[in-house]
Amino acid sequence: MFEKNKYLKEYYEIIENNKIIDKKSQYCEKHHIIPKSLGGSDEKNNIVYLTAGDHFKCHKLLTKFTSGTDNGKMWNAVWRMMNKQCHAHERDYIFTDKEYEEARIKHAKAHSKRMSKENNPFYGKTHTKETKEKMSAMKKGKTYEEIFGEDRAAIMREKRREESTGKKRSQTTKNKIRQNKLGKKRDPELMKAIGLKNRGKKRNPETIEKMKLIRESRKQTCEHCGKTCMLTNYKRWHGENCKQKQN
């Protein structure tokens, strides 16, 4: 399970020399000498109490003398500790940008491998219609910020913008969207919520300029009558349908 090297020796030295006997004397955290994810138990001889700093050091050292799937599990633990996912702990770890980047990359690779194909519990499955409707109802009328939080919302908006830039919808997709909207009216409550949210807000000059550029890019001049208009009007009243051409 553990590879014998200098890091393993350092690991046991911290456990032996820095363990806290009186848990009430200071803040400390419970540490499994052999992690539970590697088969360790909750027996007393497998548990020590360490300061937050020593606890973090031990988990970083665990990545130095494990390999394969076990190593991925240890990087996952380090990554979770760096992001303070346990609110019950008073953690104030100090790590460099390089250490954070390394942990992020190692964790991502291990998680991707661990959750790929048949290893993913949702592999080959799809949500039922009822589940999809429940998920839709939960998100309806909410912004990205309300659903995912400020940081995640900004990332998702940028991702969607990049994915859609320069791409055109196929005629099949356009027809599906059209058929889906036919005969439907927007939810008045939803429109009211959107209106209240945007009321009093002013667009910044950069956004206004972008909107102007987009609007200009969607204009086209009719080759028959010479009139410049939006593409929607061009397709309806100009080009092949222009009265000047018919005359």
Q: What is the pLDDT of residues 43-62, one digit of tens each?
A: 999 999 999 889 999 999 99
Please compute the mean of the pLDDT values over residues 198-206 and round it to a whole number. Answer: 85
Q: Which residues contact 220 (CB under 8 A, 6 or more apart)?
A: 228, 229, 230, 231, 234, 238
Tell me the one-letter amino acid at 77: A
> What's the average model confidence in pLDDT over 192-201?
84
CB atoms within 10 A of CB 77: 17
Query: Residue 162, SS3?
Result: helix
Average pLDDT score over the chain: 87
Contacts of 30 (CB under 8 A, 6+ apart): 47, 48, 49
pLDDT at 202: 83
Contact 216/230 with Cβ under 8 angstroms? Answer: no
> Measured between alpha carbons, how far is 38 from 152 in angstroms, rounded to an integer?
32
Please compute Rg for the chain using Cα positions. 29
Question: Is residue 85 predicted with pLDDT exceeding 70?
Answer: no
CB-CB contact of 61 with 71 (8 Å): no
In this predicted model, what pLDDT tens digit does every residue of 211-243 receive, in sequence order? 898 888 889 999 989 999 998 898 889 988 898
The whole-number pLDDT of residue 88 equals: 61
Yes or no: say if 225 and 243 are a contact pair by the CB < 8 Å rule: yes
Q: Per-domain residue ranges for the chain?
A: 6-119, 205-247
Q: Is the pLDDT of residue 91 over 70?
A: no
CA distance 113 to 101: 18
